[in-house]
Every structure is written in structure tokens, then in C-alpha cells.
Structure 1
Amino acid sequence: MKFISWNVNGLRAILKKNFLSVFQQQNADFFCIQETKLQEKQVALELPGYTQYWNYAEKKGYSGTAIFAKTPAQNVYYGINNDAFDHEGRVITLEYSNFFLVTCYTPNSQTKLKRLAFRLEWEKAFLEYLKALDSTKPVIICGDLNVAHENIDLKNWKTNHQSAGFSNEERQKLSTLLNAGFTDSFRYLHPTKENIYSWWSYRFHARENNAGWRIDYFITSNILQDKIINADILTQIYGSDHCPISLQLNL
């Protein structure tokens, strides 16, 4: 079973580039996107063979997530059952007989960490939500989690310490999530692989110089570790400031 996750940084913009060709080429069972920056009915996608699930932010042109699934879900849930966090279209959960699929666009802590307190409260609530799901059946989490976990996960880690996405607090929250019974699939298969990133700033020729960050993840319940066939970061695919990431599971 093949999963793709991609922060498209504005679906309307990337539709004018290569989104549909990438979508068709990947032929995934599940294609998850983040940062759609859409309101309902602003885009009508023709994706034969896929059921579409959308979660829109109340704020126009902001955030938003979607999942395109070859197999319709038994149940679909929007948000994390917490009114403090469920107005920005950040999470969709699809339920199937033997797993949950969760796509997530984690809040950015912003310049000078001015939204860090909100972010840390979000992390606490999101982990509680995931643990409740995991107590029922295995969970597959994907998306832009807006944090580089370890020094190996970004090029310029020394100069970015305590920047948004590489603060001690955010990194510890990801450690806490993983320690709660979850696996970073890419690091599980590639524990020491360097210079592989999923996001690059549009400034300073960052992608040309591969001065990037790995902030997009597929994370699974630990019980699925032996089902992980492949986890990859598709750095050859352009169109957004993020590249897609992929996961193959034997489910």
C-alpha cells in the first residue's frame, strides 16, 4: 500500500505547475496534502478513482488539508476534537478496518517563536488524540510537522538553534510523541542518512544549495514497524517549497 504526503503551499498555484502529473505518476493508494490555502468550492479536482476529503481553515487563504483515497473510508473525522485548535483545517483522520490514517499540518511557531505557546499546547492535544486512536488500532500519521528533530535533519543546525522548527521545546515534543509508541519511518530505515531534506526556503538559493530541513514525516504506530517496506523523500519533485514524501506498507 502506497502513501504520499506533500505540503503543496497553495493548491491553486501548484495546479498551474505539475500537481496533476505528479499525482498521476505516483499512483498512490492515499495522497495527502497540506497547506491547500483554499475555501470550499474554490477548486474542483477531477481525480477519477479517488474519494476526496477536505478540511478548510476558517481564515481565507490559510492552512488546510486534504486526502485523496482509492478506498473510501469507513469513517472520517475533521480536527482533533478540541475547539481551541479545530478552526484552521489542520487535521483529517480516515478510519479503516485495520488502521487510522491521519494527515496533519502542524502550526508554525513563527518568527521569534511568538506562537510557541500555542504550538506546545497543540502538541499536547495532538498527542492525546493520537494515543486515543492508537489504543483502538494502529495509526499512520503524515504531514508537515514543522520541526526538524535532530541535527542531522537540517543543513545549518548550528545557526538555527532556537529558530522556529528547531527549538528545544518543539524537538522535545516530537521525541515525546515517538517515545509514546510511534516510529519515524524514514529514520527507522535510514538512521544515519544525511543531506536529505523535504523543505527549502525560497531565499538564498536554498534548494540549489540543498540547505534544507526535514520537517515532513510519515510516523506509524510501533506495531507497524515490520510492515514498513520503504520510506522515501522525493527530492527530485519540484513545484512547492516542500517535496513529497512517500511510505510503502505491507498492510
Structure 2
Amino acid sequence: MKEKIIAIFLACLLLAACSDPKQAKLPADVSKWSEDKRLMEAVGKLDESDRKLFGGYAARQVVASTFGGSKVVADSTLGDALKTQQVWIEAKAAEAEKQKALAEQVKQQQLVALKEMNGTLTASLLKLKLNPADYKNKQYSEYFSIEVALHNNTTEALSGVKGTVVLSDMFGDPIKRIGLTNDIQIDPDQTYIYSGTMDYNQFQAADKKLAASDTEKMKFEWVPDTYIFTSGKKQTMPK
């Protein structure tokens, strides 16, 4: 009698195990999953959160198989898939937090560097003009001429200055960004007038807008990149 009770108990346990949808086996071939009746029935028995987990796992497996990724591990179950997907989600969330923290760290470093570099050098737009072609000086088409005042606010001489001139309309919308590099020494508390030219392209919307803009209403911004002092000391904007 005792043996019969034990046998019935074991049979009940086996039946309970078989009824657990998470014990359903996953075919090694991902393309066969949707055709596997038992697997689909098991997925249908999952709660909504687990179905979403499996959907994400299945999508990743389909992509992996498309690009020749490894097949599903032999004897993997639906439960194994759910655990794997949950671990992947948590890892992605952790990586996103790390990236967010790094971005915030760089942002803070940039703010500190910007304050320091703005204290080192003051830049101001003096002139921006569209000029006609000047064949005598080998300017074979219309061109812009620009002058920017660079003032060294420190007690050390600057041997090199690199940055970007940003010209925006009166609403603050950028029109054009111009890289500026100057290797003429700027002594302490002195101002150097940088003069340069740039081609005018009538087919570029930015150039056409710049040519038509009122320089009196235009906004000028100087974005520092690298300052080099004659002593060899550098100030750089974190990337």
C-alpha cells in the first residue's frame, strides 16, 4: 500500500513538472520555434512580463542566427531563455548607467575647462564680409573675409590658439562653424587680430544665408579647443 502511495506521489510530481510551461524545450533551430506547438502553448501560459521577456530573447536569437550567430544551447528550456534575457536586460541597464555617468563626468570637466579657457582668452568678431572675385590675388570666385580679435588675458604668452567660430542668426540658430588656428604669439594682456578668408559656395544653404545675414544682428560664439603657452603648458577642452 505504501509503495502505491509513493508511486502516485511521484506521478503527481512528474505531472506537475510537465505542466510547468518554463520546462518546455527550445528547438536548436530558431526558425522552428513558431512551428513547435508545445513551445507555443507553453509561451501562451506565461504571464505578460515573461512573454515580453521571451519575445525579446527570441528577437535577439533571430538576429543572431541571421548573422551566423551560435545556435541555442542543447536542452535549453523556456525558463533558461527567460533567465538569459533578464540577465541581458540588467547588463544593458548597467551599461547605460555607466555611459550616463561618463557623459555627466565629461560634461562637468568641459564646464570647468570652458571657464578656465574663457578666462585665458577673449575672442570677438570684428569683421565678416562677402567680397567679389579678386583674380589679381588668385581669388577666382566670391569669398568671405573675416577678422577676429584674440586677447590674451593671462600673464603668460600664448604660442598657439585653436578653436571654432560659430556664427548664428539673431535667434541663436547656427549658420556656419569655422575652424580657426593661430600660431602667432600673443603676449600677456595683448590682442592679436586674426585675418582669414574662406570660399563662398553659392550652392550651399549655409553660405547663402551667411551672405544675406545682417552682421549687426548676427551672434558670435567662440568655442575653445586647445591653447598652448610658450612655457609648453596646455589647456584643452575634454572631448
What TM-score comes out, normalization by structure 2 length? 0.21
What TM-score comes out, normalization by structure 1 length? 0.20
Greater Rg by CA: 2
The structure with the largest helix share of the pair is 2
